[in-house]
Amino acid sequence: MLTGLSIRNVVLIEALDLAFPRGLGVLTGETGAGKSILLDSLGLILGDRADSGLVRAGEDQANVTATFEFSELPEPIRAALAEAEVDVEPGEPLIVRRRVRADGGSKAFVNDQPVGVALLREMARSLVELHGQHDDRGLVNARGHRALLDRYARADTAGVAAAWDKWREAETALAQAKAHVEQAAAEQDLLLAHLAELTTLEPVEGEEEELASTRADMQKGERLSGDLAELQHLWSGSDSALASLRGAARRLDRIAHEHPLLAEALAAIDRAVIEAGEAEDKLVAAADVLAHDPALLDRIETRLFDLRAAARKHHCTVDELPEKMRLMREALDAIEGGGAQIAALQRAAQEAGLDYRAKAEALSVVRAEAARRLDQAVAAELAPLKLDAAKFHTAVIRLPEDRWSGQGVDAVEFLISTNPGADFAPLAKIASGGELSRFILALKVALAEEGGAATIIFDEIDRGVGGAVASAIGERLARLAAGGQLLAVTHSPQVAARGNAHYLIAKSSEGTVTRTSVTLLDAAGRQEEIARMLSGAEITAEARAQADRLLEQA
């Protein structure tokens, strides 16, 4: 609930700090005293548009801070804070601050962490519910009527939402499978032709690199063929250097025993013969590797051309061609087996659809019964609020299938008829300002046990009524406030007398400076203010006595 409101430099309010208890708090004061400034300040906390006109004249900025305390943070607020990555410790108050500059810029903070104004708007529904003379939100907005009726009915909407999600997923999977098979079928002839080409080509991963290396070696061999031939001639034959070395080794072998130096010379020549023999082997091997075969080179270049042309055609590398073949085979297999897969997905989608319809139909029955009970509950509240000629109806309307959703197959709207025989129509289109506020109060009383915002504010709900009707309004406001917190801006002494806390809004002037103040009244102050509300400018003893009676009756 709202436990504190601090306002700095907002229009006529220079500095104001208010504490609000549980129960019914009433705010009174003469017309023009500044009650709307309080509501505009609170509107900033709830994400309303920042208006530079709210900044007090001569000041650079205005600041509003609201403190909310909960035994447990409501789930919608907790989810919104988590999505915005704002940390709030369990049991910690929620402190929302809004700063508006004179140039129109604004900043918002939650527990001193900067946030976007959109987060304030998202949390507002669970923080404060505001009903005024020209309210176009809350109970007047038909978009929220279905959720209100579901809460009143304590309906299991989660099961319907889960069934809807499962049905949508099944339908999506079916549509994707159909599209895939249709696309593959349309390309079947082309796939077969491409696969036949690649099957004939038989690409092998790594083949391009191997062929390119062999081609490069053969091209080198063509360039080096003369040198290799000359080297082979120098290295082979009876008059070659190697043959001479071998002859020298044989002759030294016969006389090496005659002197150690001759033996060492023989050993050196033996080593030279071995090294020369290895060199000869390398030359022979190099000649084989670098052998220039024009026919083979032509075949290699043709193969490389075909492989690279195929890679360009299929927008891949040569090494990726085998994978392309595998994917083509899978696509063709999918065409052949697609019918069975689609049949299975169709069965799954049909079953999910039937499950959703069953759950949604059951929810519709629950809604219809709850609508009947709600109509009766609201009807019981209308006569005491001087709306006895009016009728209330909760319309549960079956939607066309293309508008079904996770919330079911129904639209819900609260309708009224203010005169006998008149057609039912939406609240905002039929009711006058005073009637609309009283209808909202009747609805809130009927829906009181079904949750909602932590704090409810009624702005001048009693305008244009008095006597017994004002008493009935006060009694219902007090009943609503018994389970939480309700603030009422009122001109009615009967409503003011019901308050657990009474705040007086007053405007004062000193020269050219005008200020609005808000004071929490004690018992004597309450009596005096209610007496003023009863008698006007001159407070009489009779007015004070009547004020006492109202306070005693409350």
Name the token pair of 523: 């018992």
pLDDT (average), residues 269-288: 74
Closest to 126 (Cα-Cα) out of 45, 56, 62: 45
Per-residue confidence band for 136, with pLDDT thresholds at 50, 70 and 90: very low
Domain contains 202: yes
Q: Are 392 and 375 in contact (CB under 8 A)?
A: yes
Name the token pair of 485: 């917190």
Residues 6 or more apart whose Cβ sits within 8 Å of residue 286 = 228
Where is mean pLDDT largest: 81-85, 192-196, 215-219, 354-358?
354-358
Q: What is the pLDDT of residue 89?
A: 83
Range of the domain at 240: 168-339
Beta-sheet pairing, 485-489 with 410-417: unpaired
Domain contains 220: yes
Q: What is the pLDDT of residue 428?
A: 66
Domain contains 288: yes
Domain contains 325: yes
The CA–CA distances, whole Å, from 36 to 54, 161, 282 equal 11, 41, 103
Taking the model in full, what pTM does it have?
0.64
Q: Picking from 98-102, 276-280, 290-294, 498-502, which range would have the lowest pLDDT averaged per residue?
A: 290-294
Where is mean pLDDT largest: 58-62, 174-178, 344-348, 352-356?
352-356
Name the token pair of 395: 């319309």
Q: Which residue has the higher pLDDT, 553 or 374?
A: 374
- Classify burial at 168, counting beta carbons within 10 Å of its beta carbon; exposed 0-12, middle 13-18, buried 19 or more: middle
Name the token pair of 228: 């290799």
Positive or negative, the Cα torsion across 425, 428, 431, 432?
A: negative
Domain contains 396: no
DSSP state for residue 103 in the 8-state scheme: T
Give the total residue count for the chain.
554
> What percentage of the chain reaches a pLDDT higher than 90?
40
Domain contains 226: yes
Domain contains 111: no
Domain contains 224: yes
Domain count, the chain: 1
Q: Which residue has the higher pLDDT, 199 or 90?
A: 199
